[in-house]
């Protein structure tokens, strides 16, 4: 016993490290049933205590309830896909007045329900009811357009039902193109086309969704088409004076080297994704150089922006799969729209990577990027949400990022961000 004590006294650090390892392992074992339940562990190469460390990184602890965590993550998705709206799609597409009437009723019911429930996720319901209103008012609107006064008739229903009419009903400005029927697809020139890329066959299927996955455009609510749309046109750089750019490190680079005008704002963080954009502290930076940390939530609730550009999607490439990405992207746009109802929202397609990367990396390749760009491009509605794709400015004929523009095949050189700005100036929406 005395010898053992003497022996242990000689190795205090070894002893401390062994004991702390054992302690962490015990914590990990204890948390396996609860907080760490959903973590995968390869015991051949990873010690069980790495669960604790990974947990700290993810803010998950042994006592964290994994079901609640998941529920929080899934919540917006569940709220997003009410069965009614899916059922309503077919009749709407056929353009029959009767079924539109049915939808309206369904929509109103839903509004009531969600108001009773007091849920945070009111938006789909609100949109539904609003859409119902607008189809009722369809005739009046058309008449008014013929007379050249679009705004007057819209004010009336607002007075009649001020609670149900959201504030974000857009005015149909001089650049809007009005059609007689509700669109079933956006005409050319409303969004920029998704730039294709050569498939080198290295993309892991884990991160993709089946090729027959359909990303339907809603027939009602925020993402639905209207009987009018805007076309992309070119503008000068004053256009961005009240714009906000949200994104990852690429947007960070753009904020510094994009040479944007002084009142333009950026909010970004390295490794930012659609999954974390609302939960992390980000860098908020004005083009005049001032920058500080803040959350997107805070920035959106204390400022008003005319245009909001979103550039996310690279850091999500390693998270399965495209459908989940699409769903989350949809949630993010819904939430941004709720907070900034008058802003134009631009979904910027993910910039492609270089051929070197695309032909060898099972995650960071253009095959997955194009698939995901295609999916989120369907979120554009042609009147306040648009998809733009700057890859036409920076890619070769195989859709690979030109090697001279980037050292890592992912980020543009500082000197090349002008291409991005030029593209945005050529692909803007004027309302």
Partner 1 sequence: MVLFSSMEFIFRFMPVFMIVYWITPARYKNAVLFGGSIVFYASGEGLLVLVLLAATLVNYLIGAVNWDTPGRRRSKALKAQRHQYAMAAVGLDAAILVVFKILAAAVNSSLLPLGISFYIFKMISFQLDIYWDRLEEQPSFLDTAAYFTMFPQITQGPIMRFKEGRFYKEGRRVTPRQVESGLVYFVLGLGMKVLLADRIGLLWNDITRVGYDSISTPLAWMGAFAFSFQLYFDFWGYSLMAGGLGMMLGFRFIENFDHPYAASGIADFYRRWHKTLGFWFRDYIYIPLGGSREGVLSTISNLMIVWLLTGFWHGSSVNFILWGLVLGVLIILEKFVFKWFLDHIPFLGTVVVWILIPLTWVIFAITDLKALGVYFTRLFPFFGQEAVVYGGDFVDYLKTYWPLFTASVLLCIPATFNMIVNFRKSRFAIVVLTVVFWISVYYVNSSAANTFMYFKF
Binding positions for partner 1, rule: CB under 8 A:
7, 10-14, 16-17, 20-21, 44-47, 49-50, 53-54, 56-57, 248-250, 253, 256-257, 259, 270-271, 289, 291, 314-315, 317-319, 363-364, 406-408, 410-411, 413-418
Under 8 Å between Cβ of 68 and 38: no
Count of beta carbons in the 10 Å neighbourhood of residue 49 = 18
Nearer to partner 1, 207 or 326 (CB): 207
Place of tokens 């001089």: 174
Q: Is 9 left (phi over 0), alpha (psi -120 to 50) or beta?
A: alpha
The nearest distance, CB 327 to partner 1, in angstroms, is: 19
Place of tokens 């959903």: 38
**What DSSP element (H or E) covers 291?**
strand 291-294
The nearest distance, CB 31 to partner 1, in angstroms, is: 15
The nearest distance, CB 178 to partner 1, in angstroms, is: 41
Under 8 Å between Cβ of 312 and 376: no
The nearest distance, CB 24 to partner 1, in angstroms, is: 8
Burial class (CB in 10 A: 0-12, 13-18, 19+), 25: middle
Nearer to partner 1, 263 or 360 (CB): 360
Nearer to partner 1, 277 or 385 (CB): 277
Nearer to partner 1, 188 or 408 (CB): 408
The nearest distance, CB 415 to partner 1, in angstroms, is: 4
The nearest distance, CB 2 to partner 1, in angstroms, is: 15
Nearer to partner 1, 43 or 210 (CB): 43
How crowded is the C-beta side of 56, counted as CA atoms within 13 Å?
A: 7
The DSSP letter of residue 81 is -
Nearer to partner 1, 56 or 161 (CB): 56
Nearer to partner 1, 132 or 253 (CB): 253
How far is the C-alpha of 289 from the C-alpha of 305, rounded, in Å? 19
Handedness of CA 246, 413, 357, 374 (dihedral sign): positive
- 140 vs 136, 153, 312, CA distance in Å? 9, 7, 40
The nearest distance, CB 113 to partner 1, in angstroms, is: 39
């Amino acid at each position: 016993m005395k010898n053992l004590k003497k022996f242990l006294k000689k190795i205090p650090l070894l002893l401390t490290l062994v004991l702390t390892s054992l302690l962490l392992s015990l914590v990990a074992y204890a948390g396996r049933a609860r907080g760490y339940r959903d973590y995968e562990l390869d015991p051949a190469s990873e010690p069980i205590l790495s669960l604790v460390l990974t947990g700290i990184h993810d803010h998950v602890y042994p006592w964290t309830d994994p079901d609640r965590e998941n529920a929080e993550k899934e919540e917006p998705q569940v709220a997003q896909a009410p069965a009614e709206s899916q059922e309503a799609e077919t009749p709407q597409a056929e353009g029959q007045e009767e079924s539109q009437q049915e939808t309206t009723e369904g929509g109103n019911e839903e509004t009531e329900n969600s108001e009773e429930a007091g849920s945070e996720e009111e938006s789909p319901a609100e949109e539904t009811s609003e859409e119902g209103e607008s189809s009722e008012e369809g005739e009046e609107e058309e008449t008014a357009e013929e007379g050249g006064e679009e705004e007057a008739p819209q004010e009336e229903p607002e007075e009649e039902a001020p609670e149900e009419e959201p504030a974000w009903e857009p005015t149909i400005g001089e650049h809007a193109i009005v059609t007689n029927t509700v669109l079933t697809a956006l005409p050319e020139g409303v969004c920029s086309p998704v730039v294709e890329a050569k498939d080198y066959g290295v993309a892991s299927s884990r991160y993709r969704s089946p090729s027959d996955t359909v990303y339907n455009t809603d027939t009602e609510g925020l993402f639905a088409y209207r009987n009018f749309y805007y076309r992309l046109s070119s503008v000068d750089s004053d256009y961005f004076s009240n714009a906000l750019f949200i994104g990852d490190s690429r947007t960070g680079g753009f904020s510094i080297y994009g040479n944007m005008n002084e009142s333009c704002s950026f909010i970004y963080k390295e490794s930012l994704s659609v999954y974390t954009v609302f939960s992390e502290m980000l860098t908020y930076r004005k083009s005049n150089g001032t920058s500080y940390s803040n959350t997107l939530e805070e920035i959106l609730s204390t400022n008003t922006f005319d245009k909001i550009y979103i550039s996310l999607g690279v850091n999500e490439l390693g998270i399965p799969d495209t459908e989940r990405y699409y769903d989350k992207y949809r949630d993010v746009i819904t939430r941004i729209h709720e907070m900034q109802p008058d802003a134009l929202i631009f979904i910027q397609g993910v910039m492609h990577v270089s051929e070197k990367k695309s032909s060898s990396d099972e995650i960071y390749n253009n095959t997955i990027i194009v698939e995901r760009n295609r999916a989120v491009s369907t979120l554009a509605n042609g009147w306040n949400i648009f998809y733009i794709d700057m890859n036409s400015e920076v890619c070769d004929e195989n859709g690979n990022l030109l090697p001279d523009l980037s050292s890592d095949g992912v980020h543009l050189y500082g000197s090349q961000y002008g291409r991005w700005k030029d593209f945005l100036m050529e692909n803007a929406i004027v309302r």
